[in-house]
Structure 1
């Protein structure tokens, strides 16, 4: 599974507090939802990360880790949680730093499932793409963005640095 996340971390790597902040309606007209139930569903879905026969690639922009969707302590905790996840052998966590030139525009979140399916997320729902040329395009797009990203220890240092900035806001 490859997830491109230009705005916020994936539900699969969110802490409960961050998920609650993200799922709590703040815009008029936002669909009504049971936030507690939605948070539980997100946490339950994270069990899939324990399956080491599967590979997960999370590709975020630096803006996605800096966009303050919650209080500073929740943000710092979320980023440190991601640092811990980056050590999982079946998980690749990469971040496109703000200072990198990227000529393609990241319009929306998308998830590719092998070479069979792409789910593109929109404000009002999702679009499933199964045509080989659509899947290939999104795989190429993912690789284009991934080639401009940092991962491993460099990504962990970036996450810790931004977490420290949020911690300093709290002080």
Structure 2
């Protein structure tokens, strides 16, 4: 993107500071395809994977991996975020959709719960992320 990249990076790091607020909890689900897609130089991807491993060790952060192997009845087509029982957002190519209707939010929670049950967490996900980082370094 145009402009001063250092400003963009600083803002991203500022937003990540919330992850260290232990009064909040976070669960992230990442597909293998999203994590392993080579959108950066391989060494940079390896560093990002190391960062995910590090963040997964925070007591209030869970990082789950959805591996490419198992078939899903409904594949994740959009990035979505459920903030609580009052708000969910879906990111599209052209913007963000905000949902505040309880029916929409409960549907996103249901979808999330389905993916969460299929995901690897804890040492299993850290092991896989570390293996992928090693592959990107080689």
TM-score, scaled to structure 2: 0.95
Match in the other structure for 1:11: none
Match in the other structure for 2:75: 105
| Runs of at least 5 residues in structure 1 that lack an aligned partner in the other structure | 1-24, 26-31
Is 2:96 aligned against 1:121? no
Match in the other structure for 1:95: 65
Shift of 1:36: 2.8
What is the distance in 2 between the residues matched to 1:34 and 1:112? 31
What is the distance in 1 between the residues matched to 2:81 and 2:57? 21
Match in the other structure for 1:131: 101
The root-mean-square deviation of aligned C-alpha atoms, in Å, is 1.1
Match in the other structure for 2:46: 76
Match in the other structure for 1:167: 137
What secondary structure is seen at the aligned counterpart in 2 of 1:102? coil
| Runs of at least 5 residues in structure 2 that lack an aligned partner in the other structure | none
Match in the other structure for 2:124: 154
Shift of 1:113: 0.7
What secondary structure is seen at the aligned counterpart in 2 of 1:128? strand
What secondary structure is seen at the aligned counterpart in 1 of 2:98? strand
Deviation by residue 1:45-99 (Cα, 9 ceiling, x = unmatched): 0110111010011100011111011101101111011111111000010001111
What is the distance in 2 between the residues matched to 1:65 and 1:121? 17
Shift of 1:112: 0.5
